[in-house]
Amino acid sequence: MLEKTIRGCSPTYGKGCYFSENAVVVGDVTLGDECSVWFHAVIRGDVNSIRIGNRVNIQDGAVIHATFKTAATTIGNDVSIGHNAIVHGCTIEDQVLIGMGSIIMDHCVVGSGSIIAAGSVVTQNTIVPPGSIYGGVPARFIKPVDDALKSGQIERIARNYITYASWFTE
């Protein structure tokens, strides 16, 4: 992992985290316990703070950033950020699945237990209510998350990435 201090701020992280060799984590970034940051993922806390909870996986090629002086980024617990997603200057609450290639823009709030479908663009200032599936460009409400999706997708993927990370640290 490339870890770098920017403007006097260095990344901090909790116990049991995994960082691939070419992940980049710089600046004012805090990660909780059992997080994983995968190949070519970038968490860039150079212009504002990035706060990430426990058991968050940031998959290959994802970018987590913020906006100078106006939009920090906060990610809750048990969140999966899919391959090549962009999470920028927004709030992602607990138990959320951000699909591959999705873009979440400044000042959005993605409520707990929600799914953002792959390839979606959640435009600036969008509030995704808890337990919602949003998809499309721009992203719109599709349907509520049912129990099968919650356990079969949101919870399963978050758990699996803890297992996958263990394979790389054995």
Instruction: Give how far Cα 78 sits from Cα of 30, 130, 155, Å.
Output: 15, 14, 7
pLDDT value at residue 170: 76
Look-up of token digits 């770098």:
4
Query: What mean pLDDT is reported for the chain?
Result: 97
Report the amino acid identity of residue 68: F
Share of residues in the chain with pLDDT > 70 (%): 100
pLDDT value at residue 124: 98
pLDDT confidence band for 140 (50 / 70 / 90): very high
pLDDT value at residue 169: 87
Half-sphere exposure of 157 (CA within 13 A, CB side): 23
CA dist 87 and 39 (Å) reads: 16
Selected from 1.10.357.10, 3.40.50.2000, 2.160.10.10, 3.40.50.2300, the CATH number assigned to the domain covering 2-169 reads: 2.160.10.10
3-class secondary-structure state, position 123: coil
pLDDT confidence band for 129 (50 / 70 / 90): very high
